[in-house]
Structure 1
Amino acid sequence: MDGCFDMMHYGHCNALRQARALGDELVVGVVSDAEIIANKGPPVTPHHERMVMVKAVKWVDEVIADAPYAITEEFMKKLFEEHSIDYIIHGDDPCVLPDGTDAYALAKKAGRYKQIKRTEGVSTTDIVGNVLHPPLIDSCFPPFPMVAMRLGFIVFVSLHCMLLLFFSSLI
């Protein structure tokens, strides 16, 4: 299995658990920072930290640094010969390159690809979205009928929410 594993979360751990269940040993490739930047934008977590986090997961037996974002023939050969892996595993979420091609096309064509279920409801994109726009902000403004909204009430609620956000950021 390979992946970016940026801002590691339980969806990543569940993927690693599923991948390990497919065999006796799990070898995981962690995509390099340069490859992530070229295909998705800059990672939040540096490569060396992502390597440590993946290695710490109990279902992982070995970690390979600097895996390519798109599976290449050279990388497949290295995996099959040096690491004796049987399959390249990825989640059922699409992994498309900037040019629109499938990052796992070669592994699929070679018959050496297995797919696992993506964990619904959690993703790095969702986590980043919640950091940039916390759900708390939406809950500060309950849906009131326009007639009931008075300037004083709106100012009070707005000030209250700003104070809540300010003090919660200090914790």
Structure 2
Amino acid sequence: MTRILTFGAFDLLHYGHLRLLARVRAMGEHLIVGLATDDIIMAGGKPKPYYSHAIRREMLLHTRHVDAVLTLDGPIDGTGRVKIIRQKIDMVRRHQITLVAMGQDWEGEYEFLTPWCDVVYIERTPGISSTTLRNTLGGGYAPLDTGPGADGDRWRDRAAGRETSESG
């Protein structure tokens, strides 16, 4: 059985992500995503994710491509583009991963995993990225806190145009 692992933030989940996940899943029987926490994303110099880790995890699990989502939370021990090394090696070993697949924009960055598994780089979908979406929105969005403990029902009501009282 080919067990595949990919890593990412998957913020503003879009059709480029879905195409990547579909192509990666077609390479094997079991796809696991190592999903970066909000703190890890921001520690890498990126803006706070629009969706919380819990919501991004839920969205990935709702796709037909992803079998499991693991939390990538550090510690930060890399000095290059890849900020977390040891935890990724541990994930590969613990989950008996045979293939790590990353977008081509990471080409050459994951070779440190080759003692334990194969590594491939997948062509990106042209014209789409979370950064492009953020820039198109003009940065005029506020990250949503719709994870556990947040008032997600009230947010969904407002988004659907239904008025809600602040008291419940």
TM-score category of the 2 structures, normalised to the smaller one: 0.5 to 0.7
Separation of aligned partners in 1, 2:56 and 2:90: 24
- SS class of match (1:120): coil
- SS class of match (1:23): coil
- SS class of match (1:93): helix
Identical counterparts, % of pairs: 29
Structure 1 residues 123 and 29, CA gap change in structure 2 (3 angstroms): same
Q: Tell me which protein shows more helix as a share of its residues.
A: 1
Q: Give the C-alpha shift of residue 64 in structure 1.
A: 0.7
- SS class of match (2:64): coil
**RMSD, matched Cα:** 2.5
Q: So what's the TM-score if we normalise by structure 1?
A: 0.65
Q: Give the C-alpha shift of residue 109 in structure 1.
A: 6.9
- SS class of match (1:115): strand
Task: Give 1:116's match in structure 2, choosing from 86, 111, 122.
Answer: 122
Separation of aligned partners in 2, 1:41 and 1:29: 19
Residue of structure 1 equivalent to 2:65? 59
Separation of aligned partners in 2, 1:71 and 1:112: 18
Higher Cα Rg: structure 1 or 2?
Answer: 1
Q: So what's the TM-score if we normalise by structure 2?
A: 0.66
Q: Tell me which protein shows more strand as a share of its residues.
A: 2
- SS class of match (2:98): coil
Residue of structure 1 equivalent to 2:78? none
Q: Give the C-alpha shift of residue 28 in structure 1.
A: 1.0
Which amino acid in structure 2 is aligned with residue 25 of structure 1? H
Q: Give the C-alpha shift of residue 125 in structure 1.
A: 1.1
1:113-152 correspondence to structure 2 within 5 Å: 113-132=119-138
Deviations 1:76-107 (A, max 9, x none): 13322x21211221000148xxxxxx752422
Alignment: residue pair count: 128
Residue of structure 1 equivalent to 2:100? 88
Which has the larger displacement, 64-73 or 2-11?
Answer: 64-73
Higher relative contact order (CA 8 A, sep 6+): 2
Separation of aligned partners in 2, 1:56 and 1:67: 22
Separation of aligned partners in 1, 2:86 and 2:119: 13
Which amino acid in structure 1 is aligned with residue 28 of structure 2? G
